[in-house]
């Protein structure tokens, strides 16, 4: 009986307090690189427009193509969520791969053996909860209209000018 109580106590998870920092998240419907974040913010109308949208719970339009009057913008809305925001860090430990003949051997960097060597990184991931995302801006579309460009119609006058018709 005492052994069973001891096992139950050891299986209980440790409680860690959550950081109460509040974040807002945007599910942007496209590729976002560190260099393209500013362009994504500009497409959404700037930081002031994004802030007003989150504060008032408004809908927002995202133009997917620049200067194209036939392309429909993606409609976004603010949704209440309770998501965790994580900081994930990958720590790298560099190693060398030694090639002697046909077999590969891994050896820590700084060893003194001959042969061809290349560096390989091995990662260790750590995750930390930094806050809670209380609102998320989502761009979900039920319609199947992906936009239509009229490039083939722009070529029609050139057909008439060739004298084929």
The C-alpha atoms of residue 131 and residue 137 are separated, in whole angstroms, by: 17
* Residue scoring higher pLDDT (38 or 153): 38
Residue 24 in contact with residue 135, Cβ under 8 Å?
yes
* Residue scoring higher pLDDT (19 or 142): 19
Compute how many other C-beta atoms are within 10 angstroms of the C-beta atom of residue 44: 19
What sign results for the dihedral spanned by CA atoms 139, 39, 21, 16?
Answer: positive
Q: Where are the beta strands (DSSP E) in 101-145?
A: 103-108, 116-138
pLDDT at res. 165: 55
Tokens of 16: 């860690």
pLDDT band at 63 (very low <50, low <70, confident <90, very high): confident
pLDDT at res. 117: 47
* Selection from 13, 15, 18, 39 nearest residue 28 by Cα: 39
* Selection from 46, 48, 44, 38 nearest residue 61 by Cα: 44
pLDDT band at 107 (very low <50, low <70, confident <90, very high): very low
């Amino acid at each position: 009986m005492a052994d069973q109580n001891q096992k139950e106590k050891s299986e209980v998870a440790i409680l860690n307090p959550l950081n109460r920092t509040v974040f807002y998240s945007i599910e942007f419907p496209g590729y976002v690189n560190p260099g393209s974040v500013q362009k994504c913010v500009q497409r959404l109308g700037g930081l002031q427009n994004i802030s007003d949208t989150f504060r008032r719970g408004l809908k927002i339009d995202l133009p997917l193509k620049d200067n194209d009057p036939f392309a429909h913008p993606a409609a976004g809305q603010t949704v209440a969520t309770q998501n965790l925001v994580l900081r994930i860090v990958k720590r790298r430990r560099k190693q060398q791969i030694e090639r002697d003949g046909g077999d590969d051997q891994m050896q820590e960097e700084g060893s003194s053996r001959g042969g061809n060597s290349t560096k390989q990184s091995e990662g260790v991931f750590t995750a930390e909860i930094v806050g809670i995302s209380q609102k998320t801006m989502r761009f979900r579309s039920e319609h199947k209209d992906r936009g239509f460009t009229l490039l083939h119609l722009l070529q029609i006058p050139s057909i008439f000018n060739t004298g084929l018709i």
